[in-house]
Amino acid sequence: MTDTVISILFSGAAFATVLYLISVGLSITMGLLGIANLAHGAFAMAGGYIAFALVNRLGVNFFAALLVAAVAVAAISVVLERLIYRPVYDAGELEQVLLSMGLIFASIAIAHFAFGPLPLAVNVPASLQGQVDIGWRSFPAYRLFLIAFGLCVFVTLWFAIERTALGARIRAAVDNRAMAEGVGINTRVLFTVVFALGSALAAVGGALGSEVVALTPFYPLEYLVYFLIVVSIGGLGSVSGPALAALLLGFGDSACKILIPEFGAFFIYVAIFLVLLVRPNGLFGRAQS
């Protein structure tokens, strides 16, 4: 019994870390400009495939590949933001949804062409292979590293958003964009910076997480629901909301898969349905009244 609970918590936390790394940028950019960028998962997939190509095919160091993937995806995202997203900022939600769905399908086609349909994972470095024995039980070293990494990212982001001048500007723009501009904040530049950072984090999530969530061309579509659940339960424009939401979703998902695999994710969706009925702004968000 205890063993099952620990398994659920451990694999849930690993899945939650991947979901958090990918979704937190989406939460903040959606909170900032109200843009529904459904193609955010494509940035995660791109990061994963870039790291895969570098590590598995070219033999580049794992951590160097992570860095390259993050920087490359951030650069790609800024170009897309300037060229493709900017024209639809002032358009309606339908245009934004159509555009980002189109980007998802384009990314699926490119991924399929370049890497084929089979699930792939970035090779884990030798130093993180095997099990770590912590006395009464052993855990996979890589997943421990993944969870610790997620914690570090959470603490860093929390500090950056809640305790720095840049973070205060981001929160001000999420609260009231017109007033933020009215005190001299250039919200467009702020948005580009956050968009780039959010995409870089997604790329790291996709690359680090490929051991938990395998890379396939349909990645951006298959996990879109999970990213959106984290954002909608966690609330827009928040750092800690998506973290708690990702943990809830990770634990729930792995509990369902381990205890009642025949129902799949059925109970997860029911729970989210109920939560959003009662709290349409999510559980932890900076809800706009």
Q: Select the residue interacting with other proteins from 1, 58, 118, 178 (CB under 8 A).
A: 178
Encoded tokens for 47: 């990061």
The verdict on 184 binding other proteins (CB under 8 A) reads: yes
Nearest Cα to Cα of residue 63 among 127, 3, 130: 127
Interacting residue with other proteins among 60, 110, 181, 222 (CB under 8 A): 181
Measured from the CB atom, the residue of 12 and 235 that comes closer to other proteins is 235
Taking CB under 8 A as the rule, does residue 185 contact other proteins?
yes
The answer to whether 38 and 97 are in contact (CB under 8 A) is yes
State yes or no: residue 28 binds other proteins (CB under 8 A).
no
The upper half-sphere exposure of residue 193, i.e. CA atoms within 13 Å in the direction of its Cβ, equals 9
Distance of CA 173 to the CA centre of its chain: 21
The binder of other proteins chosen from 11, 96, 107, 187 (CB under 8 A): 187
Q: What angle do CA 202, 205, 209 make, to 5 degrees?
A: 150
Range list of β-strands (E), the chain: 131-133, 138-140
Cβ of residue 194: shortest distance to other proteins, in angstroms?
Answer: 16
Region near other proteins per CB under 8 A, out of 52-60, 163-171, 243-251, 258-266: 163-171
Q: Which stretch binds other proteins (CB under 8 A): 36-44, 76-84, 180-188, 240-248?
A: 180-188
3-state secondary structure 37-75: CCCHHHHHHHHHHHHHHHHHHCCCCHHHHHHHHHHHHHH
Query: Is there binding between residue 174 and other proteins (CB under 8 A)?
Result: yes
Among 122, 169, 198, 209, the residue binding other proteins under the rule CB under 8 A is 169
- Cα–Cα distances in angstroms (integers) from residue 158 to residues 38, 185, 206, in the given order: 24, 21, 21
Q: Does 176 bind other proteins (CB under 8 A)?
A: yes
Place of tokens 């948005």: 191
Min dist. Cβ of residue 237 to other proteins (A): 8
Joined together, the tokens standing for residue 39 give 């193609």
93 binds other proteins (CB under 8 A): no
Q: How far is the CB of 274 from other proteins (least distance, A)?
A: 27
Nearest approach, Cβ of residue 118 and other proteins (Å): 45
Of positions 28, 45, 180, 196, contacts other proteins by CB under 8 A: 180
Least distance in Å: CB of 36 to other proteins? 22
Inter-helix orientation angle 187-208/2-33, to 10°: 160
Which spans of this chain sit near other proteins (rule: CB under 8 A)?
165, 168-169, 171-172, 174-176, 178-187, 286
